Amino acid sequence: MSLKAFPGGVNPSPPTASITKVTMPALAEMKRQGKPISALTAYDYASSRLVDEAGIDLLLVGDSLAMVVLGQENTLAVTVDEMLHHTRAVHRAVHRALLVADMPFGSYHGSVAVGLGNAIRFVKEAGAEAVKIEGPRVELVRALTEAEIPVVGHLGLTPQSIHRMGGYRVQARTAEAVLQLKAEAHALAEAGAGALVLEGVPREVAAAITAELPIPTIGIGAGPDCDGQILVYHDLLNLTFAQPAKFVRKYADAGALIRSAIEHYREDVEHRAFPADEESYHLAPEVRNALDATGTANQNSGKLRRV
Ligand code: KIV
């Protein structure tokens, strides 16, 4: 831990006075005004502060954390408790963005009552301002809305359906599938969803749904015509170790930057170039003098800068 930050722990928050909080109604207003919505995932305090301070509108604690943070093969194994743990960390960092938590696989696939109970945990125990659920779960969306929990729907390529889909594949490629997706999108909006993530669908389909729907659509692999866009933090910064999907644009190579900084640090340690005397703490002169007088001071002490 950095002693500079001790004992206060977390570094001071940015001033909040001039910040206008993004809310679910604010996203609807952005759609009405034709103002694009920026969204990004984040999973911990430091990255969430950077995302929030960069002015991103919607911050999603995505269950993609199973893969990009926990190193799991897909999103299925991450638990409610793990998602709550990360959502709490993000909540401590975020002042402006709308904080949305992903409900993990299994937490809402049984009864509506169980889904509602788990969603309440995200709001009550972790500070989520909305939850995201995958698939056309209209009854659950209605129940969450009645319980005052804003919902973001997620249709198209829904990663929690990996086994049903037979892999991560672009969805809604046939006329029949397009009509079904449109019907599901309308049903979610009518049930009260405040926004809809459209993932892995043809551009034309996302554009048509965006034009028809009263609520904002947020695309990922769905082309440029959605009301907003979302990416995974680790994809945007090249912090993943897999071949990126076609829709990913790498805005920086943080992976290379971090690797090079760590190699540099290791070399400095190996060559005793780190830490320098300026990076060391020193005894007060009177203590040094007292020790010198007893002859117990470090033999190298003469070479060291005095505090
Ligand atoms: O978990 C996630 O990161 C997501 C986004 C990709 C939409 O669901």
Ligand 1 pocket check: which of 43, 47, 64 to mutate, most ligand atoms within 8 Å of Cβ? 64
- Atom nearest to 197 CA in ligand 1: 7
User: Does ligand 1 lie within 6 Å of residue 64's CB atom?
Assistant: yes
d(CA 297, CA 280): 16
C-alpha 175 – ligand 1 centre gap (Å): 26
Sequence spans of domains, the chain: 18-236, 258-303
Given 3.20.20.70, 3.30.930.10, 3.20.20.60, 3.50.50.60, which CATH number is that of 18-236? 3.20.20.60
- Taking Cα atoms as reference points, which of 211, 212, 208, 207 lies closest to residue 190? 212
Ligand 1 pocket check: which of 40, 72, 83, 102 to mutate, most ligand atoms within 8 Å of Cβ? 102
Active site residue 199: yes
Tokens of residue 259, six digits: 């690797």
Contacts of 224 (CB under 8 A, 6+ apart): 203
Question: By the 8 A CB rule, do 78 and 61 touch?
Answer: no
Q: What is the pLDDT along the chain (307 residues), one digit of tens a residue?
A: 455 544 445 666 665 668 899 999 999 999 999 999 999 999 999 999 999 999 999 999 999 999 999 999 999 999 999 999 999 999 999 999 999 999 999 999 999 999 999 999 999 999 999 999 999 999 999 999 999 999 999 999 999 999 999 999 999 999 999 999 999 999 999 999 999 999 999 999 999 999 999 999 999 999 999 999 999 999 999 999 989 999 999 999 999 999 999 999 999 999 999 999 999 999 999 999 999 999 764 555 444 444 4
**Catalytic residue chosen out of the listed positions 82, 199, 263, 270:** 199
| Angle subtended at Cα 130 by Cα 102 and Cα 244, rounded to the nearest 5 degrees | 35
d(CA 181, CA 22): 28
